[in-house]
């Protein structure tokens, strides 16, 4: 991750609803604002976890925690009652 030049966040940049924030960091050559960068990092973490043999089961602890962190980030919540221990994946 490197600091981005002055440019817009590239999330949804080719859509009718691009992210309106300025880029703060660059990940793999793509400019992201802070919130979008955190979300992208979570997606990368989930991808890495799902590629590990011991984490292939969806109920694995690290994967559930990463998914729950994404859920809280999307909701803008810091409510600890949304802890990963309360998540039920079917």
Nearest CA among 11, 6, 5, 59 for reference residue 38: 11
Nearest CA among 38, 11, 45, 6 for reference residue 24: 6
- Tens of pLDDT along 23-81? 999 988 999 999 999 999 888 887 877 776 554 555 567 767 777 887 788 777 555 44
User: Which pTM was predicted?
Assistant: 0.55
What is the predicted pLDDT for the residue at 1? 64
Helix (H/G/I), strand (E/B), else coil: 25: strand
Instruction: Provide the sign of the torsion angle of the four alpha carbons 2, 37, 65, 57, taken in this order.
Output: negative
How many domains in the chain? 1
Give the single-character DSSP code of 79. -
Owner of token pair 């309106």: 20
Residue 17's domain comprises 2-86
What is the predicted pLDDT for the residue at 68? 80
Cα 48 to chain center, whole Å? 13
What is the predicted pLDDT for the residue at 36? 94
């Amino acid at each position: 991750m490197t600091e981005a030049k002055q440019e817009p966040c590239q999330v949804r940049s080719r859509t009718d609803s691009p992210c309106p924030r300025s880029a703060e960091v660059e990940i793999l050559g793509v400019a992201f604002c802070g919130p979008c960068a955190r979300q992208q990092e979570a997606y990368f973490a989930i991808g890495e976890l799902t590629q590990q043999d011991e984490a292939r089961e969806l109920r694995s602890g690290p994967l559930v925690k990463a998914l729950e962190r994404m859920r809280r980030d999307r909701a803008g919540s810091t409510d600890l009652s949304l802890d990963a221990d309360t998540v039920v994946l079917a």
